[in-house]
Structure 1
Amino acid sequence: MRSVSELSTRARVAALACAMLLTSGCERVVDITVPTMATRLVVSGRLELVRGMPSGRQTITLTTTAPYFEPSAPPPARGAEVRVTDSQGVTTLFREQINAPGVYVTDSLVPVRNRRYTLRVRWNNDSYEASDSLLPVAPIDSFYFTERTGLFAPPDIAREPGPRATVDFRDPPGVDNYYVWDQFVDGQRLVVADTAFRFRPMERDAFFNGALVRGFQPYSGMVLRSGQTVRLRHMSLSAQGYRFYLTLNNVSLGDGSPFSIPPASLRGNVANLTRPGEPALGYFLAAEVDERTARVP
């Protein structure tokens, strides 16, 4: 009979051998077959009213879904009929650009605050519809650069030295307001595909309704350098637009752990009136925007 110590030694050797076998195994290429789904329309459209710079130029982009491993850009949805009608009954036709298939543009739609806008698309014998309301945005009182104070920020971010883009604004009292922010540094937007900034900062005024908001830094994790040009866009959202962006943020932040949100097709607000079971992907919204641009001192 072997001693207990001998058995223990043999067990350790066997465990080590198994570990070495697992870590030194050969590589194997696995081909994954992803089912091909029916082609769906994808809508990307936002009507914007920029404070102090009203413009009639508005753009709606229509593409289609493509196979998961397709390396090229999504195919454009050509030949669609695109119209937008406001709550006063005014209809505007969007025309497809000759040099940009799938991009539909008008130069004659200046949005109006507190109006509801309905997008209607006719494409491939299907009719689509989506609506959103353009709500006023609280104007920016001040735009400047200052060190992070650490308020509501993780300790590692709060300690990192350097200026952040900072705004002051007063939230209108007595109404629900929803905000989303975009930031550009030297012309480059921070939230793009495959970057560390995977979500847009957004807030509702549940805890500061009617208050003067001072020293707010939407991109508190972005340390800026002297001489950089920063453009901050401060936008209003409807309640349904806020819920869409919130869900989009949650899906984008999924890290694959057992506690993360599983990836899924995000349901937008574009209904298919012809075949209700096949809605379009994407979202149509209207927003008022206040933006500021400054150079970091």
Structure 2
Amino acid sequence: MKQSLLLFLILSVCNSCEDVIGVDLPTSDSKLVIDALLGYNENSGNPIISGQVKLTLTAPFLAEEVPPALGAVVTIIDEQTRIPYVLTETQPGIFGINFPEFEFNRSYTLLVEHDNQVYTATQQMNHSPTIDNVVQGDSFLFNEDETEVEVTFTDLPGESNHYLFSFGFGNFLVVDDEFFEDGQLTFSYFYEDVEPGDLLSITLFGIDKDFANYANLVLAQSGEDMGNGPFAVPPANIRGNIVNTTNPENVPFGYFAISEFDTKLLTID
């Protein structure tokens, strides 16, 4: 079954309307933004842990740069062993070294200490299928300058699933399996401004329903382009799953998620 990207965007937005999610009015106060999507790939017995915890501060409208949040301590705690893993800051506000070896059916807590306040969220790792195939097509959606890429994957059986696709260049798509449960799906994604010889990286994450709803709202607010990550702050302040245990009224932006992932590469002809 082949469906276009446009149809999936319509379905994703409609499905996200089923649940009521609070949206706060924007404020001028600087708030912490925690961008934490971590990925795991079994890689034939040599696991790969990817992703980072990125901390920034909200900036005034039309500001040229988004400032990093400095002076933070970021820890991930394995709730089964209670072992804390203090992450290493590789760039200002970016923590990407010393992750635990994630396992399924085990809870992990993200702990961020910044400006005398403590922020936490607890998650388990979500399963993801592999991408069956990625090929270049010859169709276009709006104009002949677009490049079609056909993506095929098979739904995880026996349960309701949600997925996040990353197509590079800050572009993401949320998909749920309502219309192809336990089956295989082929759909088209259309790139602009790619040239012959360009290498495309397409990644599939398994996510839960709460993250799917959050990502749909962020996509809708940001016009489908989420910049440097799936947690970029949109015009309206959308609640994630991270809480401030020091001052509950000072809610941060962003989301903490752990997902199995699969990536396919494609060189444009």
Amino acid aligned to 2:216: L
How many angstroms does 1:60 deviate by? 1.0
**AA of the residue aligned to 2:260:** E
| Consecutive unaligned residues in structure 2, runs of 5 or more | 1-25, 225-233
Unmatched 5+ stretches in structure 1? 1-34, 149-155, 192-199, 255-261
Whichever of the two has the greater Rg, that structure is: 1
1:190 and 1:36 map into 2 onto residues whose CA distance is 25
Does residue 119 of structure 1 match 2:119? Answer: no
| 2:265 is the alignment partner of 1:293 | yes
SS of 1:206's partner is coil
The amino acid that maps onto 2:54 is T
Q: Deviations over 1:171-200 (max 9, x none)?
A: 12211211111123xxxx253xxxxxxxx2
Q: In the TM superposition, what whole-angstrom CA distance separates every residue of 1:112-132 from its partner, at most 9, and x where no partner exists?
A: 234332211111111111123
The 8 Å contact of residues 85 and 99 in structure 2, kept in 1 or not, is answered as yes
Of 229, 244, 247, the match for 2:214:
244
Corresponding residue of 1:157: 141
User: Does the 8 A contact of 1:62 with 1:103 survive in 2?
Assistant: yes
User: SS state of the match for residue 102, structure 2?
Assistant: coil
| CA distance 1:292–1:121, change in 2 (3 Å) | same
Q: Please list, as runs of the form range in 1=range in 2, the aligned pairs for 1:48-127 lying within 5 A after superposition.
A: 48-52=39-43, 54-56=47-49, 58-71=51-64, 73-89=65-81, 90-97=83-90, 100-127=91-118
Q: 1:119 to 1:108 in 2, by over 3 A?
A: closer
Which of 232, 237, 243 does residue 271 from structure 1 map onto? 243
Q: Give me the TM-score of the superposition, normalised by structure 1.
A: 0.69
Q: How much does 1:50 deviate? A: 3.0
Q: 1:123 to 1:225 in 2, by over 3 A?
A: closer
- Residue matched to 1:171: 155
| Residues 41, 262 of structure 2: 8 Å contact kept | yes
2:187 maps to what in 1? 216
CA 1:158–1:51 in 2, change beyond 3 Å: closer, same or farther?
farther
Contact 1:58 1:107 survives alignment (8 Å) = no
Which of 167, 175, 181 is the matching residue for 1:183? 167
Q: What whole-Å deviation, never above 9, does each CA across 1:14-70 have from its counterpart, x for those lacking one?
A: xxxxxxxxxxxxxxxxxxxxx983332111111111352633465211122222243
Q: Is 1:201 the equivalent of 2:173? A: yes
Shift of 1:161: 7.9
Matches for 1:23-62 after TM superposition, within 5 Å: 37-52=28-43, 54-56=47-49, 58-62=51-55
Instruction: From the two aligned structures, give the one with the greater strand fraction.
Output: 2
Question: Are the aligned partners of 1:225 and 1:296 in contact in 2 as well (CA < 8 Å)?
Answer: yes
Identity across the alignment (%): 27
Measure how far apart 1:147 and its partner are: 3.0
RMSD: 2.7
Separation of aligned partners in 2, 1:57 and 1:142: 22
Distance 2:191 2:136 in 1: 13
SS in 2 for 1:111: coil
Which residue number corresponds to residue 233 of structure 1? Answer: 203
Specify which structure has the bigger relative contact order, considering alpha-carbon pairs within 8 angstroms and separated by 6 or more residues: 2
3-state SS in 2 of match to 1:157: coil
SS, match of residue 69 in structure 2: coil
- SS of the residue corresponding to residue 249 of structure 1 reads helix
* Contact 1:142 1:169 (C-alpha < 8 Å) held by counterparts: yes
TM-fit CA distance, 1:157? 1.4
Q: Give CA deviations for 1:249-274 in whole Å, capped at 9, x if unaligned.
A: 121239xxxxxxx9411212211111
Decide whether the 8 Å contact of 1:55 with 1:109 is kept in 2. Answer: no
The answer as to whether partners of 1:134 and 1:288 remain within 8 angstroms in 2 is yes
Q: Can you list the C-alpha shifts for 1:190-222, whole angstroms capped at 9, x where unaligned?
A: 53xxxxxxxx22111111110122x322x2365
Matched to 1:67, the amino acid is P
Partner of 2:4: none
